[in-house]
Amino acid sequence: MPLLSATRLVKSFGTLPVLSGVSLSIEPGEKIGLVGRNGVGKSTLLRILAGREAPDGGTVHLRAGARVGYLPQLPEPGGERTLWEEVASAFADLAALEARLATLEAQLEGSDVHGDPAHLETVLEEYARARDRYERAGGFTYEATLRRALRGLGFREEQFAAPLGTLSGGQRSRAALARVLLDAPDLLLLDEPTNHLDLDALEWLQEALAEYRGAMVLVSHDRYLLDAVTSRTLELEAGRIEDYPGPYSFYVTEREARRARQQELFDRQQEEARALRAFIDRYRAGQRSRQAKSREKRLEKLPRIAAPRTARTLSFRWEVPRRTPATLVRARGLAKRFGPVEVLREATFEIHRQDRVALIGPNGAGKTTLLRILAGLERPSSGLLEVTSGVRVGYLPQDADETLDPGRTVLEQALGDRPLEPEQVRRVLGRFLFSGEEADKPVGQLSGGERRRLALATLVLDRPDLLLLDEPTTHFDLPSLEALEEALLAFPGAILLVSHDRALIDRVARRLLVLLEGRLAEFRGPYHVYRERLASPTGAPDQEGAPERALGAAPGSGTRKPVPREGDGDSGPRRDGKGVSRARPGEASEEVVARILRLEEEQGHLGRLLGDPELYRDADRARETVRRYEEVARALEALYAALAEAEGELRA
């Protein structure tokens, strides 16, 4: 029996039909990707499945007792609860059990209970059952689980006590994501959960969703994520659902195969219809009129095969490349400070002709600042930056409004002061889906996606030698994203790209610049090899051109800081910046492992004691055992984190 089934759903907004008879079913544990162009109704369908919006027609049936968790694309307004309180509400049942255990402990301390053996027995038995439920539900570890989730999604410890109302929209979205994941419903409905996540948080989320045991419907533009966690894809187009029994990459291949088959069937039928019409027209009034009449009836009964649905998409066409110097940009010891905050220090790198470089790092690391320095919009605090004379630099900011004038029309914005004829510009705009009257539309009336397309069109008109792109896929649906990816692969110049789209980075970039805590490290190779290197036990990629600097530990390891690789074979204690000797990571980790083993043995012994009803005949001893069990659990959690940090240092 399906976990959820929807039958013939219909939904319109005014005269615009959004869903036209959509039917689907979701089995327990099934993980589904929901894809389609922007504006086709994916969010509307999720809201209907979540019970947040009523369809105009059709039904949704959820299995009795099943729970649904829904993450909207836009965050709810912040309230007075703190970040910790909001996310901890996912464990409300455990909090209730904690309160009940505290009540029972207070009763066990009362003299009236100890004076009544029967009452004491009843309270002890209830306490044992409640404690058992609490332990089985993760009561002794849920705070550590909550803390890992918040850290995995990029929150710092000092932010845990912040009221939701003081957080940004992106932070509230991440808080809502943490809460819905920890609530562990039977069905997760996630609408763009990767919004506002940096690469480390994306990796954490991918692992969390891959391990999630419930069912899921996921709307996302992250092709890496869709391929990693889904096994079925639903495409919503023209108000209807088409089902593909595989992840996103399977869907892309199978969709083209289906469209090719549909085109072949359509072409055959059109040819047959043309032949029938030609016969009818030729013999309608002659001796073979009866045959013509028969063919006319046959033509009328011919089942109509629709042509494959096609939609307009972006079409880039770069100019023939100019001769450019071998090195376009040289940076030596670049630093940038905003007051006392140093966002960039001692950055040294070069960008060469036809380079494909991705600049990656956590949110707030300074990636946009570095791009703006290279674009000439910010001045470095110190260091040397040399852009070779004559090199044309094209910059796409994260917010397209920086380069657009809302008072101009699309055509006027694209023309600017460029020495081009209007018809030349109109042809380019047409390739970016601004055809006919759309080119005369005011920029101020454009959607986010349209403004992004216009900003890209102006870049093409500028014929740059070096592209500086800051989150170029913002507001793009998957077809537009794929068109942009193909265009970047065909670009004849150099590219420095900032993006959270891991598939785009992996396919386009041949080199990574990793910005962490103000320092820049270089990795020669694609993104997936970089991630494998971080996850490997040795921390060294199996490839030529290994990085000269270690690039940090894997997500969740407790450290992100890149450190220089010092001789792998050196021995003896290391010294910190003050000359103080300290244990090497290997020595530290051995000590941590030994302590973990001792505490795990003690935890096992305490667990067996807590499962013995005899323990609860002595209330003081029971309370002390529970207290020690919780103390050991917390100590183990801290040691696990310390071990991961030590291993991270070893990898570095």
pLDDT at 54 over 90: yes
Q: Is 566 a domain residue?
A: no
Least confident of 28-42, 231-245, 470-484, 594-608: 594-608
Note the pLDDT tens digit of each residue in 411-434.
Answer: 999 998 888 899 999 999 998 989
Query: Do both 280 and 200 map to the same domain?
Result: yes
Tens of pLDDT, residue by residue over 503-531, are 999 999 999 999 988 999 999 999 999 98
**Domain boundary pick from 166, 192, 220:** 166
- Domain hosting 635: range is 583-651
Q: pLDDT confidence of 649, banded at 50, 70, 90?
A: low
Residues 180 and 245 in one domain: yes
Q: What is the pLDDT of residue 144?
A: 86
| Residues 362, 295 within the same domain | no
Q: What is the dihedral of CA 463, 467, 473, 474, to 10 degrees?
A: -100
Is residue 515 within 8 Å of residue 373, measured between CB atoms? Answer: no
Cβ contact 441:410 at 8 Å? yes
Q: Percentage of residues in the chain with pLDDT exceeding 70?
A: 87
Give the per-residue pLDDT at 569. Answer: 36
Spatial distance between the Cα atoms of 641 and 637, rounded to a whole number of angstroms: 6
> Model confidence over 150-196: pLDDT tens digits?
999 989 888 999 998 888 888 889 999 999 999 999 999 999 999 88
Which range (542-546, 598-602, 646-650) has the least confidence? 542-546
> Are 50 and 141 part of one and the same domain?
no
Instruction: State whether 114 and 18 are in the same domain.
Output: no
> Does residue 581 carry a pLDDT above 60?
no
Domain-located, residue 386: yes
Phi, psi of 332 (to 5 degrees): -130, 115
**Residue 571 placed within a domain:** no
The CATH number for 490's domain is 3.40.50.300
pLDDT at 142 over 90: no
Mean pLDDT of the 555-571 span = 34
pLDDT for position 641: 73
State the residue for tokens 């890209």. Answer: 456
Same domain, 74 and 89: no
Identify the pLDDT of residue 306: 85
Question: Strand pairing of 356-360 and 494-498?
Answer: parallel
Q: Strands across the sheet with 4-13, in order?
A: 16-26, 4-13, 57-62
**From CA 550, how far away is CA 522, in angstroms rounded?**
9
Residue 546 counted as domain residue: no
Task: Provide the sign of the torsion angle of the four alpha carbons 427, 433, 434, 438, taken in this order.
Answer: positive
Asked if pLDDT for residue 623 goes beyond 80, the answer is: no
DSSP string covering 431-454: HTT--GGGGGSBGGG--HHHHHHH
Indicate the residue among 113, 142, 166 that finishes a domain: 166
Query: Which tens digits make up the pLDDT trace of 98-117?
Result: 888 888 888 877 777 777 78
* Per-residue pLDDT tens over the stretch 300-357: 888 888 888 777 778 888 876 778 889 999 999 999 998 888 899 999 999 999 999 9
Instruction: Output the pLDDT for position 644.
Output: 65
* Helix and strand totals (H; E) in the chain: 20, 20
- Output 646 or 315, whichever has higher pLDDT: 315
What are the angstrom distances between the C-alpha of 91 and each of 29, 78, 115, 356, 599? 22, 20, 36, 46, 26
202 plus 303 within the same structural domain:
yes
pLDDT at 375: 94
| Same domain (yes/no): 193, 256 | yes
Task: Clarify whether residues 240 and 255 are in a common domain.
Answer: yes
Q: What is the DSSP string of 333-361?
A: EEEEEETTEEEEEEEEEEEETT-EEEEE-
Alpha-carbon gap, residue 145 to 97, rounded angstroms: 17
**Do 281 and 379 reside in the same domain of the chain?**
no
Mean pLDDT of all residues in 401-409: 88
Cα-Cα-Cα-Cα dihedral sign, residues 590, 517, 560, 86: positive
- Residue 561 included in any domain: no
pLDDT tens, 208-228?
A: 999 999 999 999 999 999 999
Task: Give the total number of structural domains in the chain.
Answer: 4
Domain boundary among 309, 335, 357: 309
Euclidean distance between CA atoms 610 and 629, whole angstroms = 9
Q: Is-above-0.85 flag for pTM?
A: no
AA letter at 63: R
- Integer angstrom CA distances of residue 443 from 93, 530, 543: 51, 40, 48
pLDDT over 70 (residue 548):
no
